[in-house]
A = this chain, B = another copy of it.
Amino acid sequence: MNTQRAHPGRPRLVPATTTATPHDQVLHAAARLFVTKGFAATSTREIAEKVGIRQASLYYHFAGKDEILAELLQRSVRPTVDKVEQIERLAASETHETALYVLASVDVHTLAEAPHNIGVLATLPDVTSSGAYDAFRSTRAELADAYGRLAAQVAGPGIADGPEPRHLGEMLMHLVEVVTSLRGIGVTIDHATADAIASTCLRACGISDDRIATAATSAARLVGRLPDMP
């Protein structure tokens, strides 16, 4: 079906004047192919063709498809995890509730910005079992743990003592991952949706509406101040 042939030197799809590095151009083209035609059905040759580089050049940047997908998946969690320490420090100066609201807001933003909604591929069998994705799985576990720690502080004793805090963390992380499904059905993730998701996280920990409103107000003030925040 594909009438395009490898043709090194033909004009690049992304003009060379773009600021995207070749590394990022490969990631972008791969994400589009993985999500539209599937990971297994996509070859590195095809990715190289889309970028307009030789397959050999692609291997200069990446060891193979797994490494490309692993880096893409990291982009759906790493930006959030990189801010976890800073967010948890907010719990001291502000409240645990505000910190959890900020964590959820930042995570919504990361998932909304992830190239080509790449998060949909996080449950691929390759990803859940192959060693090539150990780093991604461990980053994702870090995020679940951060949700778990904050949720355990925020939730009343009856809730926090119930399931393991880690499970509560997994539940909240899953709830926020609704972003991936909403994007999948064409919903634009605007501020109202992001606030609804973060509020629902706090509500799931048993926080009352007035305290959620307070956390939301503080979070709105803080989110703009964190470096590289939405």
Contacts and interface: CB of A to CB of B under 8 A. Distances in A.
Interface of A: 34-41, 120-126, 128-129, 156, 158-159, 162-163, 167-168, 170-171, 174-175, 177-178, 180-182, 184, 187, 192-193, 196-197, 199-200, 203-206, 209
A129 B117 CA distance: 13
A27 to B, nearest CB: 17
Nearest to A33: B125
B121 A123 contact: yes
Contact of A125 (B37, B200, B204): B37
A182 B209 CA distance: 29
A128 B175 contact: no
Main secondary structure of the interface of A (DSSP, over half): helix
Sorted nearest first, the 6 A-B pairs with minimum C-beta distance are: A40-B40, A163-B196, A204-B204, A174-B178, A120-B123, A175-B175
Contacts of A121: 123, 125
Given A204-B175, A204-B203, A41 B38 contact: no
Identical subunits present: 2
A162 B192 CA distance: 8
Q: Interface centre among A38, A125, A181, A206, by most B CB within 10 Å?
A: A125
Contacts of A39: 38, 40
A197 B38 CA distance: 32
A178 B162 CA distance: 16
Contacts of A187: 167
Contacts of A163: 192-193, 196
